[in-house]
Structure 1
Amino acid sequence: MRMTYFQRFTNPVVLGGLAGLLLMLGSFGGGAIRYRGGVLDALGLDFIAFGHAQGVSNTVLFIGQLLLIGAWVHLGRRLFKNEDSPSNNLGLVRRTLYAMVVPLIFAAPMMSRDVYSYLMQGAMLRDGFDPYTEGAAVNPGPMLLEVSHDWRNTTTPYGPLHLWIGDMITSVVGDNVTAGVIAYKVLSIIGLAAIAWSVVRIAQHFGANPAIALWIGVANPVMIIHMIGGMHNESLMVGLVSIGLLLVLKKRFASGVALIAVAVALKATAAIALPFVVWIGMHHFAGFLATKKAQNSPTLSQQILGFLVSGSAGVAITGIVVSIITWMSGASWGWISEISGNSKVINPLAFPSLVASVITMVSEVFIDDFNYNAVVNVMRTISMVIMLGGLAVCWWLFRQNERRAIAGTAAAYAVAFVFNSVTLPWYYASLISLLGTFKPPMWLIRGSAGASVFIALMFTGSGNHQLYNIVTVIVSALIAWLATVVIFDDTTTSSKQVTKQA
């Protein structure tokens, strides 16, 4: 039967493509655009970024956000209503993902100005400065003008590979900021493609539903907006970790650990996956020893030997890879002391900031000059202890088999990001990418879907968050709740769907 125009328009592929197009068009006036120069200036269209025209751009960008969420919600509803076969559903998710991403290839940076800091940090290494001890202001030039004022005098928390990539890009493009942004756009797309490729295969390895894994883990609006729109280095980092995990699951331990180590050299967050990889390696090696001796299952001594071998090999490979990259990049080891990140960022996504804000809000009723900074510093110390304890607990509780190890990796990322001193939406890419790969319970998928919609609405095109705008938070929470109702309108049917397609 021929599709009606309404059915065509409400197809998630069409909606996703339209959303990407609107985001792209709105980004040039409402995104994190250049302070000086850029494409608009070269074309004589810089008026788009000011006054009423900027208001129109912001509106177009916001409508694009809503349509992107709508396309994702509609796609999820189709998956959980079991309207098609698993293979056709996977194809539909892929086509929707392509439709969302392709227009954003041509978009200006949005939701964050971090890409300009990436370029500046690369230029600093290129020009002989140490980004681990000096701020961007020591190297004046066109790139410095685009760095957010908050970050011009701060050091970088990223690894030597991050600086090396920036060094290579700025050595090629010089001080051409636009060309540098395009280079990072290409890297972000490569990263997302790597995530998409590996997530599907990890889900298939565990017999999970690859369509749902791709839907929740890659086509997710948080991933699209912040990995491609914001061009964060998480895209490449998570891509490397995802492929590394897949290689380890396929019993290519050394290659998998080496790739994750490369990701660690990009951003230290990747290291959270390594202890869980040791469990996978232990099970593989112990299983090999048991098979060799014609045993049905490994003995405790074989498991201990497997743990020692995989742990030692993992530490050695990681150390060698990171050391080689640090040496080849010409960067220093100063990144180790910068891992904790910059403490300037305050938002309720981080547990210590949230608790400190609530305590301050109540206390200010009674004390006019209540010291928020003192409270947040104490809470960050407490939170760090909780985080370290939580990571250890996750590592021990999720040791039983491969599937549990991958689930434990996701749980550890959740603990790290919730209790970290500083947390931003794109940090959660490491967690989001794994959510659908290990046959997760329905409550986790439902909760993650709602949280994704909420977070996707929390940032404006210029990069400012709305987490302290009470009206926006309430409206966004209602939209997130409504989205989960639409996607999972029949919990029983949804549960059967996951089980059936898994």
Structure 2
Amino acid sequence: MVLRLPRAVTLGLIGSLLLLLGSFGGGATRNRGGVLEAAGLDFLAYGRGAGISNTVFWFGVVLLLLGWITLGRRHVLGAREGDVDKREKAVRTAMWAWVLPLIPAAPMLSRDVYSYLMQGAMLRDGFDPYTQGAAVNPGPFLLEVSHDWRNTTTPYGPLHLWIGEGVTRLVGDHVTAGVIMYKLLSVAGFAAIAWAVPRIARRLGGDPVLALWLGVANPVMVLHMVGGMHNESVMVGLVSLGLLACLNRRFVLGVALIAVAVSLKATAAIALPFVVWMATRHYAARINQVLAFLLTGFVAVVETLLVVAAVTFLSGASWGWLSEISGNSKVINPLAWPSLTAGAVTTFIQLFRDDFDYNVALAVLRPVSMVLMLAGLVIVWWLFRQDDRRAIAGTATAYQVAFVFNSVTLPWYYASVISLVGTVRPPGWVQRLAVGASVVVTLSFTGSGNHQLYNTWWMAGVFVLAWVLTDWAFGRDLRGPWPAPGAAPRGPADRAAHPPAVPAASRPR
């Protein structure tokens, strides 16, 4: 019997509602105050109550994931090319049905939103988050910042601080109100991605339904952009709008939007060299190609610098963020190549030397990885220069290169890749890889933000499940070991009950 799941939108909606319920005790819970404490239900955040909350949360994650996979199988990957508008509407309806319950939910999968509030309050109160840690400004926000980050500077740009300052001036030191404001900002960024991505796909001759399903309705996007409220949501939204503007030959507007994104987070700049290729091909029809390249490159650099300088000046922040771009090196997980390789090297060397330190290997591999990243970015930029489709594909590939070889990589970084990979109608193996990797990333992080990437048995199960769900999404049926209802039982004698299709020939004796 073929296993059949309920409607995709229903599965995902139930999952989102469970995530809403479980987030207050199983998400990135408050250290002081919060909704549970105000309602007298704070027991759900510790002890057995926390166990219940985490169980509800995980059921929500799994059902949301199953809803997304079912949606892909029924409306995207296994559907005919016809009636694109109807299929896109089905995906968009399901996506927003899953997002809406997460708007009133507590922060999940990360405590970063509390750091955002703290950094905004620091700029508001006259401190410099590029040279000082959060601990210099005690208050309600500091109580919610993870202990690991209380003496750490911020790697984000002046727009990030400007937004944080505006939010904290509006809400004062009220943590819950600040979280609500950031949730609205993250939803606005998510909406910009959802609006731009299908249009980018159409402009490139791709499948807008695949682009929307894989690049926006993806649980990694929904959970980390909306649930986690990461500033990637606004950054990716601005980059998506900028790339769409460039595809429509509005290059000044496109570069300006991407430059604003750069002032929020520097990784947005990876898209700009590919915009230069797009502009070069457009203007090469009128002037010499080399001259077109030099002029468009020069204008893009100058415009970016002017926009970033304007944001820096208007925000009242300093240029100290340029020295902090490399980010903090405290995070260790195998999503980053140097961390992954350092772990393997250390395990091998410790077979012969018990006293070998992991940090020794990491200190060598991180600089090597930076060189590989820069070389990889240049190679990708040169290889993906032929047309608009290649430029967008190159942008996604360049982001992937950057995140693999970066010293620190976190799951929400991949929003820059996921949002674009479906727009260019990628080959089947890329689609399968993107779906499988999305399943793995979705199931690798707990509601509090801790990862399971070094939990061997957990990750083994996750990889097996990712393989099975990816196969099912692309058309392979999952069949149970039981017969269909009403079917006669089969046994060893069944085979003998049917005569052979061809009579046995006589043999010479």
What TM-score results when the alignment is normalised by the length of structure 2?
Answer: 0.91
**Secondary structure of 1:435 counterpart:** helix
Aligned residue number for residue 403 of structure 2: 417
**Alignment of 1:13 onto 2:9:** yes
Of 20, 23, 35, 2:19 maps to 23
- 1:119-156 CA-to-partner distances (Å, cap 9, x unmatched) read 00000000011000110000001100000010000000
Q: Which residue of 2 aligns with 1:351?
A: 337
The one of 184, 187, 192 equivalent to 1:186 is: 184
CA distance in 1, matches of 2:355, 2:134: 34
Residues 427-436 or 12-21, more deviating: 12-21
SS at match of 1:394: helix
Taking the aligned partners of 2:104 and 2:185, their CA distance within structure 1 comes to 14
TM-score scaled by structure 1? 0.93
Per the alignment, residue 249 of structure 1 pairs with: 247
> How far 1:211 sits from its partner (Å)?
0.6
1:454 is aligned to 440
**Percent of residue pairs identical:** 63
Pair 1:327-2:340 in alignment: no
In structure 2, the partner of 1:231 is: 229
* Distance in 2 between residues matched to 1:216 and 1:346, nearest whole Å: 28
Which residue type is aligned with residue 133 of structure 2? G
Number of residue pairs the alignment of both structures matches: 473
- Range with bigger deviation, 120-129 or 39-48: 39-48
Q: Superposition pairs for residues 257-406 of structure 1, below 5 Å?
A: 257-287=255-285, 289=286, 302-406=288-392
Amino acid of the structure 2 residue aligned with 1:440: P
- The amino acid of 2:460's aligned partner reads I
Report the equivalent of 1:295: none
Structure 1 residue aligned with 2:459, among 462, 470, 473? 473
Distance in 2 (CA, whole Å) between partners of 1:185 and 1:421 is 28
> Which residue is equivalent to 1:80?
77
Residues 138-177 of structure 1: per-residue CA shift (max 9 Å, x gap) = 0001100000010000000000000000000001101000
SS for the counterpart of 1:368 is: coil
Paired position in structure 2 for 1:147: 145
In structure 2, C-alpha distance between the alignment counterparts of 1:317 and 1:355, rounded to whole Å: 39
Task: State the shift of 1:17 in Å.
Answer: 1.0
Residue 162 (structure 2) aligned to one of 143, 161, 164 = 164
Whole-angstrom distance in 2 between the partners of 1:40 and 1:489: 43
The 5 A counterparts of 1:195-214 are 195-214=193-212
SS in 1 for 2:409: coil
Aligned twin of 2:505 = none
* Shift of residue 366, structure 1, vs aligned partner: 2.1
Q: Post-superposition shift, 1:489? A: 2.7
Gaps of 5+ in 1: 1-5, 291-301, 492-502
Paired position in structure 1 for 2:494: none
Misfit runs of 4+, over 2 Å: none
What CA deviation, in whole Å up to 9, does each residue of 1:26-69 have, x standing for no partner?
A: 10110001100011111111111111111011001001110011
Q: Aligned partners of 1:82 and 1:407: how far apart in 2? A: 24
Secondary structure at 1:369's aligned position in 2? coil
Q: Aligned to 1:108, what secondary structure does the other structure show?
A: coil
Which position in structure 2 is the counterpart of 1:498? none
Find 1:69's aligned residue among 40, 61, 65: 65
User: What amino acid is the match of 1:425?
Assistant: P
**Cα distance in 2 between the residues matched to 1:231 and 1:490:** 35
Task: Give the letter for the 1:66 counterpart.
Answer: V
Q: How far apart, in 2, do the equivalents of 1:237 and 1:441 lie?
A: 27
State the 1:10 CA deviation. 1.0
One-letter code aligned to 1:77:
R
